[in-house]
């Protein structure tokens, strides 16, 4: 005959075991949660107050100029295009570093009031040289001849290689 072992009995009776607390130090958890909430609110506040407009200062452009590319103090590559979008009833010309760009080298879209220049072969510049440049847009009504003193706006930009 083989001996069979009896399973051990489960403990019963006695005092019930108390559960350990869910958090050992609840105040530490509260302090960390409040700190994270403060950082999150600060981040949201900074994002809300940041200036993401195309032109660095609101209102710096005359009402007659809708957009500029590059933006004032912007950075472009040597082959990029300079573009000014005027009101649709205006036309104009560009003056780069004191030299007016010949009209036959400009691209104009009269319906949009757009005047642009892109350097390239057969133009005054093959590409913009590195460094700081100044560009002036001179503009007037499309229905009138160019006046002696047209409206102007000047800004600078940087070319990097």
| 18 confidence band (pLDDT: 50, 70, 90) | confident
Q: What is the CATH number of domain 65-159?
A: 2.60.40.3780
Greater confidence (45 vs 35) lies with 35
Across 14-44, b (16+ Cβ under 10 Å) vs e yields eeeeeeeeeeeeeeeeeeeeeeeeeeeeeee
Question: What are the boundaries of each domain within the chain?
Answer: 23-52, 65-159
Q: Compute the Cα dihedral for 116, 119, 125, 131 and give only its sign.
A: positive
Q: What is the mean pLDDT of the chain?
A: 83
Alpha carbon separation from 24 to 19, 28, 30 (Å, rounded): 12, 9, 12
Residue 81 φ/ψ region, left for φ over 0, alpha for ψ in the -120 to 50 degree band, beta for the rest: beta
Q: Is the pLDDT reported for residue 89 higher than 80?
A: yes
Report the distance separating Cα 69 and Cα 83, nearest Å.
Answer: 5
DSSP sequence for 122-157: TSS-SSPPSEEEEEEEEEEETTSPPPSS-EEEEEEE
What would the pLDDT profile of 111-121 be if each residue is shown by its tens digit? 999 999 999 99
Q: How far apart are CA 35 and CA 139, in angstroms?
A: 55
Return the percentage of the chain with pLDDT > 70, whole number.
Answer: 80
Residue owning tokens 């102007």: 152
d(CA 89, CA 140): 9
Q: Where are the alpha helices (DSSP H) in the chain?
A: 26-49
- Name the nearest CA neighbour of 108 among 80, 135, 86: 86
59 against 83, higher pLDDT: 83
């Amino acid at each position: 005959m083989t001996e069979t072992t009896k399973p051990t009995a489960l403990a019963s009776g006695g005092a019930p075991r108390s559960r350990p607390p869910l958090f050992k130090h609840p105040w530490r958890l509260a302090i960390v949660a409040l700190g994270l909430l403060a950082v999150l609110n600060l981040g949201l506040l900074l994002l809300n107050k940041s200036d993401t407009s195309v032109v660095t200062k609101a209102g710096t452009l005359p009402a007659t100029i809708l957009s500029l590319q590059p933006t004032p103090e912007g950075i472009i590559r040597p082959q990029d295009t300079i573009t000014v979008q005027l009101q649709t009833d205006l036309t104009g010309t560009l003056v780069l570093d004191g030299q007016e760009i010949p009209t036959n080298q400009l691209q104009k879209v009269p319906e949009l009031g757009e005047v642009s220049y892109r350097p390239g072969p057969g133009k005054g510049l093959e590409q913009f040289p590195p460094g700081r440049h100044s560009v002036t847009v001179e503009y007037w009504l499309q229905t009138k001849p160019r006046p002696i003193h047209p409206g102007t706006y000047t800004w600078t930009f940087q070319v990097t290689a």
